[in-house]
Amino acid sequence: MSELQYHRIADDEKGFDLSMFCVPKHYEDDLERVYIPHGLIMDRTERLARNIVNDFGYEEPIVALCVLKGGYRFFGDLLNYISALNRNTDRSFQMSVDFIRLKSYQNDQATGKIQVIGGDNLENLRGKNVMIVEDIIDTGKTMLKLLDLVKDYNPKKVRVVSLLVKRTPHSVGYRPDYIGFEVPDKFVVGYALDYNEFFRDLNHVCVVNEKGKEKYAIPKSD
């Protein structure tokens, strides 16, 4: 496997002023800054695709498992780049796709409970090489529980690629096989990452401000 490499975003990184980018009008007052521009996401995703093809090329077919909902855009873009490399290089592998939907957040806090609320029959993973594609690894607890679930189906090999990995004191120390960006302990949205189902329609990864958190918060039950 390629040496683990990723783009580390420093704790003091301020990002970019919203006025430099096209941001939907309905979100302009709810965001602090653009943290990772869409173009940079795409460039990094292409690099990850190259690393994956170099590592997986000539192996048996791969099942790419998308973790919904937050992973769908990264998953689609990553597979598009992999497909292009499969067509245009001498290293290639067959891919099929599966989906699983998890829920672990409410507002900006992890609930501590992992709910599997949708997905295909994971029997399809039995005996296969599996590549799990995730949007963000926060504490790592969700991914470890998902890996335990997947292992119940006895896959041949499992690798994990995540667009983002968060530096947080609450981390259990889990690191995926492929990382796009390592980011500070901020609540980020956009590029399909959400806050209570909002902000998925942003092209860029942004930091949501306190006004945005309050505006789209789910009221706590008594």
**Residues annotated as part of the active site:** 138
Query: 32-45 burial string, b = 16+ CB within 10 Å, else e?
Result: bbbbbbbebbeebb
Distance CA 176, CA 123 (A): 23
Cα 159–chain centre separation: 14
H or E stretch at 38:
helix 38-56
d(CA 219, CA 182): 31
SS3 breakdown of the chain: % helix, strand, coil, rounded to 5? 30, 35, 35
Under a CB-based contact definition with an 8 Å cutoff, are residues 99 and 66 in contact? yes
Tokens standing for 158?
């499992």
Task: Retrieve residue 52's tokens.
Answer: 């994956």
Q: Are strands 178-183 and 157-166 parallel, antiparallel or unpaired?
A: parallel
CA dihedral defined by 9, 82, 73, 211, rounded to 10 degrees?
A: 10
* 107: DSSP letter: T
User: How many whole angstroms separate alpha carbon 177 and alpha carbon 132?
Assistant: 10
